[in-house]
Structure 1
């Protein structure tokens, strides 16, 4: 508006002085506005956070971060950026620095999030198609979320089901392909003169065909504060595509109280015309003008000739009779809508209200509140009025917030606000930091512990936002994050005399619970010396297999034990199953009186787990007659005995040779 200036203009900072108001709203754009400043000694300065769009317009209430900073104090509020619906954080200024002589303002500048733009195969925007704005990333004010679904458009099929914007501020065109024999939708939109929707759209129907005609002109509805100015496309015939009938509304005019010179009366009410409940394009006649203390209107009511134009009403000043009036200053919690506390003061009508909100606001900020709007101070120089009613000034306060987490630790149970020891306390540490373990047990087949557990720990953390007034956690569903993604794989150790049921325990994904895995060990098998009939030889060694030093699930080649006066059929065993005993046949060694000619040495077969393997018998050697006795039978037995002894001796030599070669 070329005839106006903007409201809420911040006052300049002057080192060594404090302004009585933080901003002004000029009532006359051509007149200067005096602002009173108070000198301050050993000043305490205020740090304010502003949240604005690219034109500098405030899009979220400013936050007073603190009011007791001294010259030279350092600050850093970079992390205080917040998520603002429809906008993303584009840049910051003055969010870190050092105080000089004066208050500081940190500015967070936001830009509007982009949109999904449906286009036809030639790249042209599809008329009346929805263009949804990207949603905010709830965890990062500078981002939008990935995999955003594209809108449905009757009669068209999108080439992709979703998009992931690369730049949160840029629109993303999505190509749609027409579908033959389509059914089309008729939508009614209710918008202001800038095209902004002021009432939810209505889908009139979804099964119109090409050539279908459509009496929606009469569907205009009464919208509070607006009147129907014009319509477009409210009657017609369908082509190839959806149709949108648009009802455009303009704001209803107001009654503007003016003084005898035609100037608007400062702070006077300017009531908007009421809607005509039976006609969305009209207002009602004979509207009463507002009452203004100290003034008398020239007319008691007005009948607007144009529902969109303001009607000035002239008021004549009157001199009120002096009397005592009461003013009430109410401090309101905007989060709960309740009154925190209030003060009442009295004085003569027309006199300045002698009151300051500073001490009350200071007390409340010590309890975690933040100032949103000081309705008393912002009133300039308020005076007692003469309407006989109690004057009420509202000071609006919100709830301050502060993070608590691994990067923002606070002692649990201590006051959130140091100057309010009986106020809310910081939450327990395990609300934002927890530890879980992954434990591997090493036991025998009976569950007895064989060695110390292998224990790994994952630490899970999150950052909570705490309401400084109530102590309430505002984001109790905040997700947890672990310091590790996966536990490390555990290499199962070798335990002498046992074999394990696995060689490693793979590291599992870290979870918000304790994990347990049990590695079971069993006794390693033995070499069992047996006689040629397969019976265990009593009172002889039965050594266990040797552990494989590189694999806890396996055993390696193990030598058979020495037994005096006996010889094994094999000098070593290669177990196939580490827990199964291996019988090894032993033969007695006999010393004959005469050693016959040694027969050929028997063939040696290695022994593994399973039945004892013995060499095939050789052809029977003819009996040799012993000259001393002439007993052929004895000679034959002696010859057989000598043959066995010679064979065993040859077997010893053969096995030893093989062993030596193996060892070499």
Structure 2
């Protein structure tokens, strides 16, 4: 479409090029041109799409005039046979339209939406006193532009068989825009011949209008006419009320129920998305420009029939300066203003951590615990860091340079430091060694040597030994992590030194079941076993395992809880023993429902409606029920025994009752 090469930025008039292309039918989608960029070779992409025009009867062209986009059809109903009373012909017209989609760039039709199909109104046959029509109604066919006309004839005959029976009429409400589908009806209206048809369609018409319909023709009482029942049993008088679909223009100022606001108002969002700075990353910078249009809607079906072009409320988005973040620099100083098109725009700004000053010793190794100051971001330019940064002071070391000037904001700068004897000795302590010379440490040894007067060459012997550390559950190791935190490249805590390796938990669990919602929660007791290991801090090896502090633990017993209405299979449980190798013991207690006292007649049949009390659980022994439980009183009967001592807590006991004579 347009490709420009080897042009200077100041020679490019991108706005003029965009305007020229828009005049040729193109629609701007995105403008990637940035006039503020530094000199050099750059690629800019400006994106367009073809614009399209709808050609219809409201928007004809020279190539497609109105006559090529519209056809008129006529429906004629002839009436005959009623002499001078014969109604005049009924004639109505419909308009059938066509629409096309025109590519404004290629100057040609790219889509023909075709011709509409339209339905005529159904015509109810007028009543003529003393005559019977051949049809109660005619018409209402759906036609196309190739055969748009329709013609019908209704014949009247003299009513030779007048009836005194009750007559029937009906008022039908038809949707002309939906092939004359019935949308409402009066239902059967009945009355004596020549009496008034007592019906008013206004309420139904108003109801349908509230549903989005419009009245096209009231074939019952359009001008206040009064209709009467005829006297023919051969026909049902039919009156047609024709309804059509209202069309409504919907936009932000005129919303419409059932049409989502996104159909006529949308946000064009220009988002600057920031990444790379972790928790410090700024929230997206979003600007919103609203675009609006008007849509024409079928108020019954909620179908969008036509829409205008989108219009934006503001032509350009504002320029966005990249926020300054401490410790980070960005790849863009600002995001230039963009032209608002119909599509969302997005720009990515990436932050990268600033480089640091890294103190190293003369062997190229990082100095432990030395500060690593981060370059300071230029407060006026998010893409730059400040020059001439001073290097940090490190006790016991001297830097070879006083300041640095970073060449790349994201690259670390290593600065060589010379170290003193105290640092060398401290490094041995950090590796896990201990001094054996009368308890001296690195600092006192180095200070005594550094303070010696110059008496020529002197020799000092410093004795070292491997340091040891005890690991216990209270002071465990961290397998895989450095033993000496100041010497991370040294030995790691070996497997078996973590807290979970130094402690074991024994458990006695009593589980209860069988009492439904009354079942007690499981009872759990715990006991600990622990051990101590001795670790060599220099080699990282386990040099001694003191073993577990006990070979077994015994738990106490547990008395089974008493639950009303239930008895257990065990009164006392627990007292189990666990070892470091066998850590869990489980006991189980099962409850069952207590039996009942069952009053029965001398034939052994349960007495209807007699109380059947359940045994009472012994409050001192969950496995038993109390003895000598009294039998219930049963009206009209005398028990053969007054108490029951159950032999089995879960088994019912029948008690014979004799009728009270």
Fold-level similarity (TM above 0.5): no
How high is the TM-score relative to the length of structure 2?
0.34
